[in-house]
Amino acid sequence: MRLEAVGKRYGRGRWVLRDVHVEAPPGEVVAFTGGNGSGKSTLLRIAVGLSRPTRGTVAARPPVVGYVPDRFSPNERMSAAAYLTHMGRIRGLTTSGAAARAGLLLDRLALVGGRHAPLRSLSKGNAQKVALAQALLVEPGLLVLDEPWSGLDADAHGVLAEIMTEVAASGGTVVFTDHRESVTRAGATRTYTVSAGCVSLLGPDSGWAPGTDIVLTAPGRGRAPRDLVWEELDGVRTVDRDAAAVRLRVARESADALLLTALRHGWSVERVAGMPNAAAIGDPR
């Protein structure tokens, strides 16, 4: 799938996307990272065909597309099982085939709270699991996931990562967004950044923006700092832990906020060092 010179504005508003070129080949997991309002969801809606680009084209979109939107909160009395069976039939499955596939997917994702409970009674994470199952009812050639990790528990994180790998390994394309660079770097074979409607490829050739290395230790005096899921904090690119310290590499613009968070959680700052642009020092990250 390719986006060629895509531009988007809503009505006569500002350009939300400008001259976007994206390659999302079969077998790859492609990530888009960027801040709130940068245009990631708009870009995904154009990729799946739910929104028309104002300029440019989408080429080579596979016929079967699975899409998980950023919000799935159906105000429905219908149960997850009934909803998925219904969606499966819309996608060409038989009733029994759709019900069986829905059951398999909900088992794998470990839906808690009852597959026969009304959709509107599900928690955010369980509703997200139903949205994921819906996108996988028929094996997609293109699987598009908007902030798919949000709300999922640790087990479901692992299952989702497996599913993404399986879709890519069987020749499909996976596209996802996440605002955390550490997540996109861990999960994607190529990553684009989205900033003010401009999209650029990150990688060995382009390098990451300048970053900061931070080393945090326990402050001594018998006080233990509270641990954090460092990988989930904004701007965190890598995390190394050992018994004595946590070593973080973070985007420079996020370093102040991260240091403040660490201090508030009882950590002591041992070292902070600026890092040049990765491309400039030949770092293949």
Ligand X SMILES: Nc1ncnc2c1ncn2[C@@H]1O[C@H](COP(=O)(O)OP(=O)(O)OP(=O)(O)O)[C@@H](O)[C@H]1O
Q: Which residues bind ligand X (CB under 6 A)?
A: 10, 16, 34, 36-42, 70, 179
- 34 vs 187 by CB, closer to ligand X: 34
- 38 vs 173 by CB, closer to ligand X: 38
Taking the complex as a whole, how short is the minimal distance between the CB of residue 107 and ligand X, in angstroms? 30
Taking the complex as a whole, how short is the minimal distance between the CB of residue 35 and ligand X, in angstroms? 7
Q: 239-270 burial, b if ≥16 CB within 10 A, otherwise e?
A: beeeeebbbbbbbeebbeebbeebeeeebbee
Taking the complex as a whole, how short is the minimal distance between the CB of residue 51 and ligand X, in angstroms? 8
- 141 vs 197 by CB, closer to ligand X: 197
- 10 vs 57 by CB, closer to ligand X: 10
Query: Do 207 and 251 touch, CB atoms closer than 8 A?
Result: no
CA atoms within 13 A on the CB side of 131: 27
- 37 vs 274 by CB, closer to ligand X: 37
Largest CA distance in the chain: 66
The alpha-helical segments, DSSP class H, found in the chain are: 40-48, 80-90, 95-109, 124-135, 154-169, 181-187, 255-264
At residue 109, the 3 state secondary structure works out as: helix
Q: Which amino acid is at 285?
A: R
- 18 vs 40 by CB, closer to ligand X: 40
Taking the complex as a whole, how short is the minimal distance between the CB of residue 80 and ligand X, in angstroms? 25
Taking the complex as a whole, how short is the minimal distance between the CB of residue 36 and ligand X, in angstroms? 3
Taking the complex as a whole, how short is the minimal distance between the CB of residue 194 and ligand X, in angstroms? 6
Closest CA to 110 of 70, 158, 164, 167: 158
φ, ψ dihedrals at 14, nearest 5°: -70, 165
CB atoms within 10 A of CB 188: 22
CA atoms within 13 A on the CB side of 218: 12
